[in-house]
Structure formats: C-alpha cells, structure tokens
A = this chain, B = another copy of it.
Amino acid sequence: MSQRFSVAVHILALLASEPSKLLTSEWIASSVNTNAVVVRRLLGLLRRAGWVKTRAGREGGFELAVDPSALTLREVYQAVEEGRIIGIHAAPNPRCPVGSCIGAALGSVVASAQEAMLAELGKRSLADVVKELSVRRERKG
C-alpha cells in the first residue's frame, strides 16, 4: 500500500513549521526515516503542483510556497496518489446480462465512494495538521 500521501503530508508539515527556511532532502529524509531520493521524488510532485519552491546548488533546499491554511489534504492526496481506490475488473462477459452492465453500475458506486473520501480530506488543511501536531506535542510535555 502506498505511503506517498502520508509522507507528503509529513514533508509539508515540516516545511510549514520552518517557514522561509531551506530544508535539504537529506534533513527531511532523516525525519521521515527514509531515503533522500524518495523525498526528492515526492517533492518533485509538490513542486509541479506549485506548493513548494526549490533552490539548487550549495545552501539549497526546499521551502513552502503557499499559505498552509489554503492547502487542503484533498489536493495533496490527488497530487501524489493518482487513480482509483477501488479497482474494477476490466473485461466482464458482454454477452451476459449482468456482465454487460456491472462495469457501469460499479463505476458510479466507486466514484461516489471515492468522492466521499476526498470530500472528507478536503475538510482539513495543512494548517490544521500543523496545529494538531503542536497540540499533541504539548500534551506529551
């Protein structure tokens, strides 16, 4: 199962909690506990979406380029995790009355289920996540 959404939110939360600071992929990778290339791959997607700015070369790194309260988790999910959640079998028998229509019927079911999930993600912004992190941190002491 893909962890891209999870890691992407982690990365964005890091960038949001260190605004206008350049973080290197190596530094981010040590927080996520993964390889720096994995981080750069994901940040490539976020950069193309316009949410992150990059500076190459010495003293380079990544920084957030949007207001965290204007970026929903739905957008993040859709940027890094493409396609459908629920697979539909491709080629049922068209000569069977069920087989010939099940694809279309399931398509609408799956679409509405996926939209419900995305709508729920759309209720939360990156700022909400950052805020929740600080609350949880305080609780720990």
Contact = CB atoms under 8 A, between A and B. Distances in A.
Given A32-B89, A117-B113, A133 B3 contact: no
A97 B133 contact: yes
B99 A31 contact: yes
A6 B92 CA distance: 11
Q: How many copies does the complex hold?
A: 2
B109 A129 contact: yes
A46 B112 CA distance: 24
Interface residues of A, number: 57
28 contacts: A1-B83, A1-B84, A1-B85, A3-B87, A3-B89, A5-B87, A6-B87, A6-B88, A6-B110, A10-B89, A14-B98, A31-B93, A32-B99, A33-B93, A77-B86, A85-B85, A97-B137, A101-B132, A101-B136, A101-B137, A105-B129, A105-B133, A109-B121, A109-B124, A113-B121, A114-B117, A116-B117, A117-B120
